[in-house]
Amino acid sequence: MTSARRGFLSGLVGLLGGCSPAALLNTTVSRDGYTLASDIPYGSHPRQKLDVYKAEKPRADGKSVIFFYGGSWDSGTKSDYLFVGQALASRGITTIIPDYRVYPEALYPTFIEDCALATRWAANEASVERLFVTGHSAGGYNAMMLAANTPYLSAADVDRMKLAGAIGIAGPYDFLPLTSRRLEQIFGGPDRRETQPITYAKAPLPPILLLHGTADTTVKPFNSERLAAAWQRAGGKADLKLYPGVDHIEIVGAFSSLLRGGAPTLDDTVAFIDRT
């Protein structure tokens, strides 16, 4: 990646902390190829709203994606991820991006339950035929807690095994013991195995794709490596791709056309959707 692109991406670190330098990135995003329906309620709480990027030329197979953003479970907003919605919709993949409740209002597992409700909305209201759950960072955790053998989708009246698949991008899946006081508050203690996606890598499991950069110091690559291995041991199909020299922000920034040369995040995501 060029030094100019790397310097621009350094500003995107604010995506994890509640800032929105992504607004600058979004000014470079084309408004062609999709229609955007904003702030659709999937529940009664003000944070329970979602945006739908409907592809103008949708795929014939009806495959669609619901994307959960990161933000350490304490920040984030769906409008920051125009560049993700546009990238996928331009490939014919209608994309749904929800907000969900975050800390300090929400503790584990409230944010997962919100993501399950948003998934129910996508499955029932968006006229999709095959739905993939995906996310970056904390959003990747949320996606894998839905795809793994947990009760959250069932509680929302969604058949987990009808998911077409799941894609985790630089997500934390096996990150105990917690060393942050804030994370201990969010997850109810420093060493609760029931909070970890890897704990629920038990058959039956939908297919997954895990993407991670080897230069990620925010969420270490071993999270994806361990989850892929556990998924495979349980008889599930898990593809793992490690991107040399790519860090935690570069991997999601690469959805945008401006920064796409930094990592094949979009191409690998679409290829997985194509073959799954």
pTM: 0.93
H helices present in the chain, as ranges? 3-10, 22-26, 82-89, 110-125, 138-147, 152-155, 181-187, 222-233, 250-253, 265-275
Provide mean pLDDT across the span 235-241. Answer: 98
What is the model's pLDDT at position 207?
98
18 has pLDDT over 50 = no
81 has pLDDT over 50 = yes
168 has pLDDT over 70 = yes
Of 165, 146, 167, 119, which is closest to residue 269 (Cα–Cα)?
Answer: 167
Q: What are phi and psi of 232, to 5 degrees?
A: -70, -40
Lowest mean pLDDT among 9-13, 34-38, 78-82: 9-13
Q: Which helix (H) or strand (E) holds 65?
A: strand 63-68
CATH numbers and ranges of domains, the chain: 3-275 (3.40.50.1820)
Provide mean pLDDT across the span 21-27. Answer: 74
Mean of per-residue pLDDT scores for the chain: 92
Q: Is residue 48 helix, strand or coil?
A: coil
123 has pLDDT over 80 = yes
Alpha carbon distance 164, 32 (integer Å)? 27
The predicted-structure confidence for 178-203, as pLDDT tens digits, reads as follows 999 999 999 999 999 999 999 999 99
Tallying the residues shown for the chain, one arrives at 276
